[in-house]
């Protein structure tokens, strides 16, 4: 169940009680989010008769580690959270992935609820049931498919989100329009300024549609055999950009914005995506102040191709892409030559 509206945190405890998730609970959050939202969530749970334990991890991707998992287990055990307990993930995708994995594995699984507080977490990571942590060898290498019992998106939480973090979430929002819903894409073209101002009404409509799309795609393919792959539009190049330039330089959304624009240009060459659509895609990302292109020197370009070939989307030595036939409709498993990819990465806007 997904709830999306402003002011939901106040009712959160009541929702958990109604769902009969357990007698006791722990809130897992990070240092940034905890400072702002732990208190209202804690109080709401207290009012509903729970006595929550608060577990805070240091904000940032490094919290998605087995070390944090271990610390969470230890605290859960120390507070004697037993079978009739549940976990609340309060934060962005990092906290959601970590807390979800802890919930999936502690006592072989206890219920959990997501309270996503970033745009990315509200439209992407809190839906679909993927949880997990990173290893030194790479991101998300340990995890479980585990569904939250409730996802509560309080739109008010987005008010404190730093601008750059908000815009990185928009890259996933635009992606849903390209891969699945031309009407959503057109709505974004019309309403992007209102969205950037974080007006509750447009946010609610857009977030709801994105969750619906992700849920629909995932429900048809929970473990990534086929359809789910369309969610990777722009991600083969995007991940390689993150990888080859070092994590941290570009946020995920920034890298996949450039990745999606490059994928659109490849789509024009390979699937005949109309030039006008390529232009619309590029200009929407630019309006959202996301990079449509990333300048790479030759060493970086080399690293980018190595990274792309290591990506799991390679089969038979050829890099496979999700490409668009038109806005709202994509096809998976499209091969492209290195020369075409290079051109797509560097090409100026056409049309």
Ligand X SMILES: NC(=O)c1ccc[n+]([C@@H]2O[C@H](COP(=O)([O-])OP(=O)(O)OC[C@H]3O[C@@H](n4cnc5c(N)ncnc54)[C@H](O)[C@@H]3O)[C@@H](O)[C@H]2O)c1
Would you name the residues annotated as active-site residues?
Answer: 108, 130, 172, 214, 224, 228, 232, 235, 239, 252
Smallest Cα–Cα separation from 332: which of 209, 236, 222? 236
Shortest distance (Å) from residue 39 CB to ligand X: 14
CB-facing half-sphere around the CA of 98: CA atoms within 13 A: 32
CB-facing half-sphere around the CA of 280: CA atoms within 13 A: 21
| CB within 8 Å of 341: residues ≥ 6 apart | 237, 262, 266, 305, 308, 319
121 near ligand X, rule: CB under 6 A? yes
Helix, coil or strand: residue 6: coil
Exactly one of 8, 25, 153, 165 binds ligand X (CB under 6 A); that residue is: 165
243 near ligand X, rule: CB under 6 A? no
Exactly one of 56, 105, 124, 237 binds ligand X (CB under 6 A); that residue is: 124
Number of continuous H segments (helices) and E segments (strands) in the chain: 14, 11
125 near ligand X, rule: CB under 6 A? yes
Exactly one of 2, 52, 81, 92 binds ligand X (CB under 6 A); that residue is: 92
CB-facing half-sphere around the CA of 338: CA atoms within 13 A: 9
DSSP codes of every residue in 63-86: GSSHHHHHHHHHHHHHTT--TTEE
38 near ligand X, rule: CB under 6 A? no
- Per CB under 6 A, which region of 85-93, 183-191, 238-246, 257-265 contacts ligand X? 85-93
Residues 11-30 that bind ligand X (CB under 6 A): 30
Do residues 202 and 236 lie in contact, with contact meaning Cβ atoms separated by under 8 Å?
A: no
Residues 301-330 that bind ligand X (CB under 6 A): none
61 near ligand X, rule: CB under 6 A? yes
Distance of alpha carbon 333 from alpha carbon 321, whole angstroms: 5
Do residues 238 and 285 lie in contact, with contact meaning Cβ atoms separated by under 8 Å?
A: no
Shortest distance (Å) from residue 165 CB to ligand X: 5
Q: Which residue's CB is nearer to ligand X, number 38 or number 270?
A: 38
Exactly one of 128, 148, 234, 328 binds ligand X (CB under 6 A); that residue is: 128
Exactly one of 26, 32, 86, 238 binds ligand X (CB under 6 A); that residue is: 32
Distance of alpha carbon 82 from alpha carbon 116, whole angstroms: 25
Q: Which residue's CB is nearer to ligand X, number 52 or number 91?
A: 91
- Per CB under 6 A, which region of 41-49, 87-95, 104-112, 261-269 contacts ligand X? 87-95
Exactly one of 56, 157, 268, 334 binds ligand X (CB under 6 A); that residue is: 157
Per rule CB under 6 A, count of chain residues that contact ligand X: 27
259 near ligand X, rule: CB under 6 A? no
């Amino acid at each position: 169940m997904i709830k999306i509206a402003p002011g939901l945190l106040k009712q959160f405890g009541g929702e958990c009680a109604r769902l009969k998730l357990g007698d006791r609970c722990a809130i897992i959050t990070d240092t940034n989010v905890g400072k702002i939202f732990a208190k209202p969530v804690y109080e709401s749970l207290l009012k509903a008769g729970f006595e929550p334990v608060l577990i805070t991890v240091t904000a940032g991707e490094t919290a998605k580690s087995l070390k944090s998992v271990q610390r969470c287990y230890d605290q859960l055990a120390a507070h004697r959270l037993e079978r009739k307990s549940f976990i609340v993930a309060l934060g962005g995708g990092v906290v959601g992935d970590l807390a979800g994995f802890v919930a999936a594995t502690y006592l072989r699984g206890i219920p959990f609820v997501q309270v996503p507080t970033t745009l990315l977490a509200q439209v992407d990571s809190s839906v679909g049931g993927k949880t997990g942590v990173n290893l030194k060898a790479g991101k998300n290498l340990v995890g479980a498919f585990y569904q939250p019992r409730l996802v509560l998106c309080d739109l008010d939480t987005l008010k404190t989100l730093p601008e750059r973090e908000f815009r990185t979430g928009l890259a996933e929002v635009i992606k849903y329009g390209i891969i699945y819903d031309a009407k959503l894409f057109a709505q974004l073209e019309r309403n992007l300024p209102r969205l950037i101002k974080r007006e509750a009404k447009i946010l609610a409509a857009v977030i709801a549609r994105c969750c619906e799309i992700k849920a629909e795609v995932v429900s048809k393919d929970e473990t990534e055999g086929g359809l789910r792959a369309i969610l990777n539009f722009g991600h083969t190049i995007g991940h390689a950009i993150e990888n080859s330039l070092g994590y941290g330089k570009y946020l995920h959304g920034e890298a996949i914005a450039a990745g999606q624009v490059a994928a659109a240009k490849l789509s024009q060459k390979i699937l005949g995506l109309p030039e006008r659509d390529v232009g619309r895609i590029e200009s929407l990302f630019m309006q959202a102040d996301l990079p449509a292109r990333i300048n790479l020197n030759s060493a970086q370009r080399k690293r980018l191709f190595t990274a792309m070939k290591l990506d799991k989307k390679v089969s038979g030595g050829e890099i496979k892409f999700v490409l668009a036939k038109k806005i709202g409709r994509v096809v998976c498993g499209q091969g492209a030559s290195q020369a075409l990819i290079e051109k797509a990465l560097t090409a100026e806007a056409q049309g």
